[in-house]
């Protein structure tokens, strides 16, 4: 039985994780669920799954959640520090981190220090502090399994393989809703258009990242740390059908790919079930006879420079990826609020990367300070 703490239960990944838990009540016990400020949905989830703990990070909603759950055997906590408290509970065996952005770093670090197995859907944790995270994983003898569909695909292709025999990995990208757009069309893109992803149902931030290809850039950096790769061993292919979730090429020229319908519940379940596989009765199955054409192409880095900025950050190292992530989070938020045009997202990120001081071997304190300064500068530029 997995005793799970779900960080971010009201987001897209969180809700799908609860569907997996509902499908396998004999295998998953929800000990704690958390939300930033979606109190209404958090209350509904708590009543349905009856976890021992519920955390509402925004303390303005604490009274509402507390009052709604007063007659249930649930302890209600509030505030950012409460996230660190719940991940350290002795009864928890696994923590699934589905928080958005930099906010996932601190509770993930604390979960590792408390020797909890990590199912990681918060790619920004490794983007910002990959080296520090990997050192902690070794020190605490903790497993970290990927939830992102692309990294889950790579992980599945590598089961039973020698990492030293990898020649290259290929992360696939749908190309987003603007794959066929030209520069003039991109100038007039609206948030409403950008939020209509052709294949996946995701939260707003990651959907915009998919439209700019920054999501793939963040996944490139995440892959380096997850699979201990050299920069030149990582490549990206645009695959509009989103059926091949990623591929591994080995030194003998052979390749492995993991295929399936674009359904996040499959990699979520595998991150929790590994090294076994659980059956499921609700997820759609891939059928070659009805989906016979699979195509691949190189990404257009001129029209979608966010991916190029991510490769630059990967190559430079240090605190550069932390700057990239912080600037992107601010730029995406400002675009969603109609404060900047779509094409200003990469322009803002590039300017912040040029201005923030470089630190070759950042400490955790350095990364928090870098994140803070980069956000301030990005907001000023926006």
Position 281 confidence tier, pLDDT thresholds 50, 70, 90:
confident
Number of domain units in the chain: 2
Q: pLDDT tens across 149-158, in order?
A: 999 999 999 9
* Cis peptide leading into residue 251 (ω within 30°): no
> Residue 45: is its pLDDT beyond 90?
yes
> With 70 as the cut, is the pLDDT of residue 352 above it?
yes
Q: Which of 124, 146, 168 is the last residue of a domain?
A: 146
| CA distances, 131 to each of 105, 135, 225, 374 (Å) | 13, 6, 7, 20
* Domain assignment of residue 382, yes or no: no
Give residue 198's pLDDT: 73
Position 71 scores a pLDDT of 97
pLDDT for 200: 67
Mean pLDDT of the 252-260 span: 97
Which of these, 297, 296, 313, lies nearest to 305 by C-alpha position? 313
Q: Does 289 share its domain with 307?
A: yes
Mean pLDDT of the chain: 95
Shared-domain flag, residues 116 and 170: no
Q: Label residue 287 by pLDDT band (50, 70, 90).
A: confident
Q: Which two tokens stand for residue 223?
A: 């892959």
Residue scoring higher pLDDT (287 or 160): 160
At 201, the pLDDT band (50, 70, 90 cuts) reads: low
> Residue 266: pLDDT band by 50, 70, 90 thresholds?
very high
Residue % of the chain over a pLDDT of 90: 91
Final residue of a structural domain among 114, 146, 178: 146
Average pLDDT over residues 335-360: 97
Q: Is residue 259 part of a domain?
A: yes
Model confidence at 41: pLDDT above 90: yes
pLDDT, greater one: 80 or 198: 80
CATH of residue 358: 1.10.1740.10
Q: Report the pLDDT value the prediction gives residue 102, as an integer from 0 to 100.
A: 86
Residue with tokens 């050299």, as numbered in its chain: 230
- Are residues 136 and 167 part of one domain? no
Return phi, psi of residue 235, to 5°. -140, 165
Contact 58, 110 (CB under 8 A): no
For the cut 80, the answer to whether the pLDDT of residue 317 exceeds it is yes
The phi, psi pair for 191, rounded to 5°, reads -55, -35
Q: Is 164 found in the same domain as 313?
A: yes
Same domain, 79 and 157: no
Whether the per-residue pLDDT at 290 is higher than 90: the answer is no
Please tell me the predicted confidence (pLDDT) of residue 381.
Answer: 96
Residues 16 and 120 in one domain: yes
Same domain, yes or no, for 197 and 127?
A: no
Task: Note the pTM of the prediction, 2 decimals.
Answer: 0.93
Residues 86 and 211 both lie in one domain: no
Residues 177 and 209 in one domain: yes
- Domain annotation covers residue 119: yes
Domain match, 102 and 196 both: no
Range of the domain at 226: 151-377
Q: Among 96, 118, 146, which residue terminates a domain?
A: 146
The answer to whether residue 29 is domain-embedded is yes
How crowded is residue 314: how many other Cβ atoms within 10 Å of its Cβ?
20
Phi and psi angles of residue 175, each rounded to the nearest 5 degrees, phi first: 95, -10
Q: What is the mean pLDDT of residues 313-324?
A: 97
CATH number at residue 122: 3.40.50.720
Tokens of 238: 């645009």
DSSP letters spanning 65-112: HHHHTTTSS-EEEESHHHHHHHHT-TT--EEEE---GGGGHHHHHHHH
For residue 129, is pLDDT > 80?
A: yes
104 pLDDT more than 80:
yes
Residues 138 and 157 in one domain: no
Judge whether residue 44 has pLDDT over 90. Answer: yes
């Amino acid at each position: 039985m997995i005793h799970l703490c779900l960080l971010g239960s009201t987001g897209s990944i969180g809700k799908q994780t609860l569907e997996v838990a509902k499908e396998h009540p004999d295998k998953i016990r929800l000990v704690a669920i958390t939300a930033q400020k979606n109190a209404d949905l958090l209350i509904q989830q708590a009543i349905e799954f009856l976890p021992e703990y519920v955390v509402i990070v925004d303390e303005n909603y604490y009274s509402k959640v507390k009052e709604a759950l007063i007659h249930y055997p649930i302890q209600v906590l509030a505030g950012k520090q409460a996230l660190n408290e719940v991940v350290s509970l002795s009864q928890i065996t696994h923590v699934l981190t589905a928080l958005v952005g930099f906010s996932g770093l601190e509770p993930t670090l604390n979960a590792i220090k408390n020797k909890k197995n990590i199912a990681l859907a918060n790619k920004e944790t490794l983007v910002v502090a990959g080296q520090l995270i990997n050192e902690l994983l070794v020190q605490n003898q903790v497993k970290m399994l990927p939830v992102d569909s692309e990294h889950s695909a790579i992980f599945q292709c590598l089961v039973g393989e020698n990492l030293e025999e990898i020649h290259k990995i290929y992360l696939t990208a749908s190309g987003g809703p603007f794959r066929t757009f030209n520069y003039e069309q991109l100038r007039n893109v609206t948030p409403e258009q950008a939020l209509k992803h052709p294949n996946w149902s995701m939260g707003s931030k990651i959907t915009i990242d998919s439209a700019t290809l920054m999501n793939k850039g963040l996944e490139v950096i995440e892959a380096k740390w997850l699979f201990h790769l050299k920069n030149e061993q990582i490549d990206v292919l645009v695959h509009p059908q989103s059926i091949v979730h990623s591929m591994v090429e080995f030194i003998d020229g052979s390749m492995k790919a993991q295929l399936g319908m674009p359904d996040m519940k499959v990699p979520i379940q595998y991150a929790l079930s590994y090294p076994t596989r659980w059956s499921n009765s609700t997820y759609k199955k891939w059928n070659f006879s009805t989906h016979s054409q699979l195509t691949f192409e190189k990404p257009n880095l001129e029209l979608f420079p966010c991916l190029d900025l991510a490769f630059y950050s990967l190559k430079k190292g240090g605190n550069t990826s932390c700057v990239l992530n912080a600037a992107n989070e601010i730029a995406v938020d400002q675009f969603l609020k109609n404060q900047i045009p779509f094409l200003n997202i990469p322009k803002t990120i590039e300017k912040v990367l040029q201005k923030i001081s470089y630190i070759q071997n950042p400490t955790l304190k350095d990364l928090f300070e870098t994140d803070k300064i980069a956000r301030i500068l990005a907001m000023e530029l926006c």
